Amino acid sequence: MKIPRLLQAVGVIVGIYAGFVLVFDYLLGQVIPSSLLSMYMFFVIAGVFMVYTFTEESARELVAPIKALVEDPSKKRIRNVVFILIPLLVAGFTYQRMSPSFEAPVELRSIHPAPPATVKAYGKRYDLATLKNPFRKYEKAKPEKFRELVREGGDIYIQNCQYCHGDKLDGRGPYAAGLNPTPLNFQDVGTIAQLQESFLFWRIATGGPGLPKEAAPWISSMPVWQDFLTEEEIWKVILFLYDYTGRRPRSWEHE
Amino acid sequence: MRNFLKVLCFSLLVIGLFAGYSNYGIPQIEPAPPPVEEKLELGAMTMDKFIALGERLYNGKGTCTLCHNPTGGRAPQLESAATVASERMQDSRYQGTASTVVEYLYESMVEPSAYVVAGFGKAGSNDSESPMPDVSAGGIGLSDAELKAIIAYLQDLAGTDVTVSIPTDAAPAEAEEKTAEPPPAPRAALDTPDALIAKFTCGACHKVAGQVGAIGPDLTTIGATRDKAYLRRSLLDPNADVAEGFMAGMMPNIYGTQMSAAELEMLVDYLAGLK
Amino acid sequence: MMIKPPASNGKTRRVRKAGLVVFCLGLLLGVLALSLPGLDSGIAHAAELADTGADTATYQPAPKLTAADYPTIKGVNSRIAVWLAAQLHLWFAAFVLAVPIFVFIIEAIGMGTRDKRYDNMAYEFIKVSITAYSFTAILGGLLTFLLVLFYPHLFQYMSSIFKESMFYYALLFFLESATLYLYYYGWHWLQGGFRKWVHLSLGLLLNAVGTLLMFLANAWVTFMMSPAGVDPAGVFSGDAWAAIHNFLWNPINIHRVIANIAYGGSIVGAYAAFKFLSARKSEQRAHYDWMGYNANFIAISALLPLPFAGYYLTAEIYAYSQQMGITLMGGVFAWLFIIQAVLIGTLFLSANYYLWCGMGRSDGAVRYHKYIKYLAIVIVGAFLVWFTPHTLVLTNEELKALGGPYHKYLGPLGIMPAKNTAVNIMILFTTLSFIFYRRANKVATVSWASAGNAIQIALFTAGILNIFFLGVYHGYFTNTVYKVAASIPQVLTTLTIIVTSTAIDAFMYRGAKQVAPLHWGRVSDRSQYALFLLAVAFTWLMGLMGYIRSGIRQHWHVTNVFRDASPDAFTPGLGYAANVVSVGTILFMAMVIFVFWIADVSSRKTAADAYWKTPPA
């Protein structure tokens, strides 16, 4: 049996929509942003419309059921139902879009801003391009000392950081739900694995207020840790972050 | 007529869609307003403030970070610009005339092609021509004092001693603007010589009251060699007698109008007492 | 199209020869006119010599203004008034300059094929543009008045530098008008043999003068963007040629000539579409369908190379000033290019749709129907990639779900290599649509037809693979330097495929057998709306790009030389600009409707015999 063209077209559109959601949200595990999806669908619908109407017969077939619905006396009942349903759907959609919600307005904000070349902390100036973790060298030279440092870093993390960043370092600490932007998930491949240790030092030491202008507004609730932790403590925490997640800090040198 | 209306509605719908998308489909970013010319208060400037001013200019009005940043690779990094300056001046490719670090840095900003760091020249110029504009002119238009502030910032950034001096004479245009302003309310008289010295930042140039400026004469034992009349004259008219080894015209000629008579006498007494 | 010219006898040959001489003379004159800028510099040089003799300090630096230096009229926003006047002037000017270019080409085709339909169509095109010509002049006058009124210091400064070119610009308008009127009103008079050649030469002269006018005006605009011939304080050196021949002059010239042709084609297409919709008789429908098809063909042919001209212009802006380039492509204006992508995508989609609908003119096209959906999938797919923004707009929930603003799979689509690849694919498949359209009605009869087909398929496959390889490999697996460099071989691949396959097609279908007669006029009303969409989208897009071209100067009248101190010196946001552009587009449409209506009225007659006294016998 031949499927009516209108049904075909609707099927294709719904299929593509479902395909986007399925592929991105479930198969790839990265949701497709609704703003982008609506733009995608707008042009997909335009494309489907183009394919289904470029010949006269095809266009007529596509519109025939709609025409019949409006004009055919035998379809009076279904017509009445549709004519009531459509305004209701539009009203419902409009209401949903217009009703105020508790969601904060969308903001464009880059979470990994370009770091400054140098940063001032602890009354000193650090050059982020050459700054290195002073404890990193023990990893190969004195493994037992390194383990000790990592353990100390873990203690500092549990005492200070896990409330937001979580005891599994996955950004799901007890307070995480209340924060926007969400605390960083260090387990994710896109976070600390992409960064040098000096970047982490900068972000930890100067916190939200240390963000450059491009990352404004300063809504990050990351504290300015140089007021609470010593320089060495920060470096130890950084050791712990990489150790626990099993990631390597990014480096421009070949190992 | 029916066709006309149909076409009209269609076209208006299309325009409406475009406008709607531009207004609601994309985030609205408000472009930064045109920059406002910042007035420099050089009279009351300490070196720390001067460096901070340089940093502000470096990141803001000077638009330096647009290219001098670690991500773009468009221009060399400047953290060690002040330390490598002396090597650069020895380089065979150096075209400029600078002999000190300050002169070199100044020259690099107003005449960027004098020395082009290898790899950062204009395409095809084989590093003989710099893509950088003269920052004292055109759209950036930094004043002489602002350039010096940036030099101070760069020297601080490199961790070397800041050898550039804070310029004292404001640009004439700014002076005009200042006279046009309503006269400031008279300030309360200061009652100790230390407060006076701090207020007028004598220590920026002179070695006095625990501060160690080196531009003007050392004042720690000035009372031993100079009398009150000489000191009073030096404050009221700095160029009347210039101490040996120092340049005329360095000290601002403003204290006669900015200090009250009581303050002046108190300062003269204080200095005469330093023996 | 393939009507053989009548066998020429001795007399016509002689006439044609004489005509050719006139034509060549015209060509020479055109070239002379084109080299006028050089002449102009000579004049400027002379003027400069005279100046230096009398007084060396004639030129003042650019004035430093305050908000009080800008006159205001209550209730009038001076910036928006100037903006709209300039934009409307530009739209009409683009149209008026473009039409003679393709009228000239169509007339020449008509002369070559001796097909009267081409001549009639060319005449109808020029008829439409004649009223638009006076609108251009009126709006140009309005713009000048507004500038003198609201920005007197700027106008004075500009005219002190461009005094010669402004003077000759004004004088050249006499020549332009004279040529245009002679060309239009003499159309029916200058017919046949020698006279037709004279007429064609007039067309060439018209184009030469028109282009020269535009180049002069471009010099003023580009001087404001990339000033030359002045020192940093704005003191003019006296060398008018240096000021004219500034950094962005040639890139803008090229970009505008190509864009004008595409734009003119789209407007004439809309005119034909409207006439088609209102036509009652079938031969009228056939005529306007044919006219719309040709207009669309012109628009698309010019649209295909336009992105490349745009790349050239952008590259030159970067070369002139990195700061200006970064302002253009990053930060505030970055989203403008997403809007631009949506608009250009709309242009491509509607142009393709028109071609597909046009296949209905022939019964032979059914063979190709099954391929259309694949074309659509690729073009829409490439388009989706093209407008995927680099910075995604995310709700807070999505941010949480993604764990940050970075999207692993959509992120890579936001950067240039993906977009370059997508646009090249889109252009290639549009070309394919056109090839299908051309083949719809024909069957190749040459012996090597199947081999030719195979070559074309191989060419497209290899080209597409190459574009993909360049885009993916250089875009994602090499460092930044190669990312941008890969776009050039991509563009070259695309151009090679277009040129080669069109050439193969032309040879292969020489003397091809027609499957079924081509029925001009047998096309849906729907397809005509694609032509309207093309015209409206083009107009709006030009307005938007006009805003950014001007906007990247930010708070400068003349970049880095002459600061804009007016209260309107701020750079408007995108929504604000889009609203102004929309209002401008609606105003322009209203005027264009008037222009079309007037062209129509001139051929109407009302019989009012009873009104007039019968003349005494």
Please give the CATH topology (third level) of the domain spanning B193-272: Cytochrome Bc1 Complex; Chain D, domain 2 (1.10.760)
Percent of chain A with pLDDT over 70: 85
B124 in reach of chain C (CB within 8 A): no
Given this model, what pLDDT does residue C137 score?
Answer: 92
Given this model, what pLDDT does residue C36 score?
Answer: 43
d(CA C53, CA B213): 55
Given this model, what pLDDT does residue A99 score?
Answer: 85
**If you average pLDDT over residues C330-346, what whole number do you get?**
82
Parse chain B into domains and list their residue ranges. Answer: 47-169, 193-272
Confidence of residue C266 (pLDDT cuts 50, 70, 90): very high
Residue B123 has pLDDT above 70, yes or no: no
Domain pair B47-169 / B193-272, same fold: yes
**If you average pLDDT over residues A47-66, what whole number do you get?**
88
Is pLDDT larger for residue C196 or for residue C328?
C196
Is pLDDT larger for residue A216 or for residue C430?
C430
pLDDT in tens, A176-204: 877 777 788 787 666 776 677 888 888 88
Q: Please provide the DSSP assignment of chain A as one string.
A: -PPPHHHHHHHHHHHHHHHHHIIIIIIS--PPPHHHHHHHHHHHHHHHHHHHHSSHHHHHHHHHHHHHHHH-GGGHHHHHHHHHHHHHHHHHHHHHHHS--SSPPP----SSPPPPSEEEETTEEEETTT---TTTTHHHH-HHHHHHHHHHHHHHHHHHTHHHH-TTSSS--TTGGG-SSPPP-TTSTTTGGGS-HHHHHHHHHHTGGG--GGG-S-------GGGTS-HHHHHHHHHHHHHHHT-----SS--
Q: Contact at 8 Å (CB) between B205 and B215?
A: yes
Given this model, what pLDDT does residue C13 score?
Answer: 52
List domains and CATH numbers for chain A.
Answer: 5-98 (no CATH), 118-245 (1.10.760)
In this complex, the residue of C359, C401, C404 whose CB is nearest that of residue A190 is C404
Maximum mean pLDDT: which of B40-44, B198-202, B248-252, C86-90:
C86-90
Let me know if C266 is exposed, middle or buried by CB neighbors in 10 A (0-12, 13-18, 19+): buried
Percent of chain C with pLDDT over 90: 35
What is the rounded (10 degree) CA torsion for A169, A170, A174, A176?
Answer: 120
What are B87's two structure tokens?
């090597």
Read off φ and ψ for residue B218, nearest 5 degrees.
-70, 130
Which of A135-149, B160-174, C490-504 is the least confident region? Answer: B160-174
C70–chain A nearest CA distance, Å: 33
**If you average pLDDT over residues C428-446, what whole number do you get?**
86
Contact state of C332 with B29 under an 8 Å Cβ cutoff: yes
Q: A83: which residues sit within 8 A by CB, 6+ positions away? A: none
Tokens 């140009």 found at: C140
What are C49's two structure tokens?
């010599």
Strand partners, A126: A119
CB atoms within 10 A of CB A141: 9
Residue B247 has pLDDT above 70, yes or no: no
C411–chain B nearest CA distance, Å: 17
Q: Under CATH, to which class is B47-169 assigned?
A: mainly alpha
**If you average pLDDT over residues C142-170, what whole number do you get?**
92
CA distances from B208 to A154, B127, B220, C532 (A): 51, 48, 5, 82
Residue A166 has pLDDT above 80, yes or no: yes
Which of B41-50, C57-66, C194-203 is the least confident region? Answer: B41-50
What is the ipTM, given to two decimal places? 0.82
**If you average pLDDT over residues B81-95, what whole number do you get?**
82
Given this model, what pLDDT does residue A81 score?
Answer: 92
Given this model, what pLDDT does residue C7 score?
Answer: 42
**If you average pLDDT over residues B62-90, what whole number do you get?**
77
Contact state of A114 with B70 under an 8 Å Cβ cutoff: yes
Given this model, what pLDDT does residue B137 score?
Answer: 72
B69–chain A nearest CA distance, Å: 7
B3 in reach of chain C (CB within 8 A): yes
CB-side exposure of C511: number of CA atoms within 13 Å? 4
Which contacts of C481-486 are long-range, i.e. CB under 8 A and separated by 24 or more positions?
A: C483/C415, C483/C416, C483/C417, C484/C416, C486/C417, C486/C420
**If you average pLDDT over residues B104-114, what whole number do you get?**
86
Task: Residue window 162-181, chain B: list those with CB within 8 Å of chain C.
Answer: none
The rounded mean pLDDT for chain C is 83
Given this model, what pLDDT does residue B87 score?
Answer: 82
Q: Which amino acid is at C137?
A: A
C524 in reach of chain A (CB within 8 A): yes
d(CA C506, CA A137): 70
Is pLDDT larger for residue C330 or for residue B140?
B140
pLDDT in tens, B171-217: 444 433 333 344 445 566 777 888 778 777 777 678 787 776 666 78
State the DSSP H helix or E strand holding residue C442, giving kind and residue range, or none if neither: strand C442-443
